[in-house]
Amino acid sequence: MALNRNWSKTSMCTGSEGQVGTVSEPAAEQTMDRGKPAPAADATLVDDLVTANHILFNHGVVDAFGHVSVRHDKAPDRFLLARNLAPALVTPDDILEFDLDGNPLAARGRPVYLERFIHGEIYRARPDVVAVVHSHAPAVVPFGAVSSQPLMPIWHMSGFLGEGVPVFEIRDSAGPGSDLLIRSGDLGVALAESLGTSSVVLMRGHGATVVGSNLKQAVFRAVYTQMNAELQLQAKILGAATFLNAQEAAATTVSVGSQIDRAWDMWARQAGSNNP
């Protein structure tokens, strides 16, 4: 049974004596708009971001939860992300602009994702990143929880995993009593540091965050990270798997990466037929 993440959450706070306590907070926030919006993003970019939400839902990478963002095409210190909404239901009217601190620029009181700090801090730390996907893809979660079983590229479609897949341990930053959500800029910074120069970071007990140099690449990587995890779990049943070596991972990243539009075009057409 899926958890209703709109219920109150428990987050960590520190009292005057330094003890860790808990406080009830919502999983979405209404926050005031701050600053002046950038010139309007290209309409095609907005449409592609909507499509990305629907593709990720169709492939089971996200369900009612999870989110995808893209860096603003006219302001690199801004990014576009939907309001607090299930990805399958996102439309162009739901796309909002944020600064890198996670402040909305024109939300007009609409609730926003609490974990928007994932996106802002990765964009701040990684100028090469243009899109970010955060998900709770089920097949990926075990690899963040079992340290003896790293996620590794098992086929040519996921050679990008060959650069290494770090695991973010939130206890190192938030202590032992957090709800595992990236609910502050400081936690976003810690996650970005764990990601480093990799394409994927696992989040123990939570999910994964995937980045790309463009929106299509980030979606492609998120889909094939989930598929790789499924195959790796299946291979484990058969015995010891032979994974791609570093040279194979690098070569397949280039060759398969040149075909991303082929996948995107098909997925976008499928998503178009399922639009709300």
Across 141-165, average pLDDT = 97
More reliable by pLDDT, 106 or 250? 250
Across 215-232, average pLDDT = 98
Question: Would you state the pLDDT for residue 8?
Answer: 31
Residue 34 confidence (pLDDT) above 80: no
Question: Would you state the pLDDT for residue 30?
Answer: 63
Residue 21 confidence (pLDDT) above 70: no
Q: What is the pLDDT of residues 183-194, one digit of tens each?
A: 999 999 999 999
Residue from 115, 121, 169, 193 carrying the catalytic annotation = 115
Q: Amino acid identity of 216?
A: K
Distances (CA, A) of 3 to 6, 83, 94: 9, 20, 24
User: Which residues, in sequence order, are bridge partners of residue 22?
Assistant: 12
SS3 sequence of 57-117: HHCCCCCCCCEEEEECCCCCCEEEEECCCCHHHCCHHHEEEEECCCCECCCCCCCEECCHH
Across 37-41, average pLDDT = 90
pLDDT confidence tier of residue 275, bands split at 50, 70 and 90: low
In angstroms, the CA 27 to CA 196 distance is: 27
pLDDT confidence tier of residue 15, bands split at 50, 70 and 90: very low
- Provide the 8-state DSSP code for 38: P
Question: Would you state the pLDDT for residue 33?
Answer: 62
Contact by Cβ (8 Å): 45, 80: yes
Q: What domains, with CATH codes, occur in the chain?
A: 29-272 (3.40.225.10)
Across 248-261, average pLDDT = 97
In angstroms, the CA 60 to CA 83 distance is: 20
Q: How many CA atoms lie within 13 A of 237 on its CB side?
A: 4
Closest by Cα among 11, 49, 28 to 133: 49
Residue 91 confidence (pLDDT) above 80: yes
Q: Amino acid identity of 74?
A: K
Question: Would you state the pLDDT for residue 13?
Answer: 36
If DSSP codes are grouped into helix, strand and coil, which group holds residue 265? Answer: helix
Name, in order, each residue with C-beta under 8 angstroms of 199's C-beta and a sequence gap of 6 or more. 160, 161, 163, 210, 211, 212, 221
Q: What is the pLDDT of residues 104-144, one digit of tens each?
A: 998 888 999 999 999 999 999 999 999 999 999 999 999 99
Q: What is the pLDDT of residues 169-213, one digit of tens each?
A: 999 999 999 999 999 999 999 999 999 999 999 999 999 999 999
- Provide the 8-state DSSP code for 157: G
Across 25-32, average pLDDT = 60
In angstroms, the CA 147 to CA 159 distance is: 21
Name, in order, each residue with C-beta under 8 angstroms of 138's C-beta and a sequence gap of 6 or more. 60
Q: Which of 37-46, 194-203, 241-250 shows the lowest mean pLDDT across its residues?
A: 37-46
Q: Which of 11-15, 157-161, 260-264 shows the lowest mean pLDDT across its residues?
A: 11-15
Whether 25 is a known active-site residue: answer no
- Could you give the dihedral angle defined by the CA atoms of residues 144, 214, 264 and 196, in that order, rounded to the nearest 10 degrees? -10
Question: Would you state the pLDDT for residue 35?
Answer: 73
Closest by Cα among 94, 150, 129, 122 to 221: 129
DSSP character string of 170-213: THHHH-TT--S---SHHHHHHHHHHHTT-SEEEETTTEEEEEES
pLDDT confidence tier of residue 276, bands split at 50, 70 and 90: low
Question: Would you state the pLDDT for residue 167?
Answer: 98
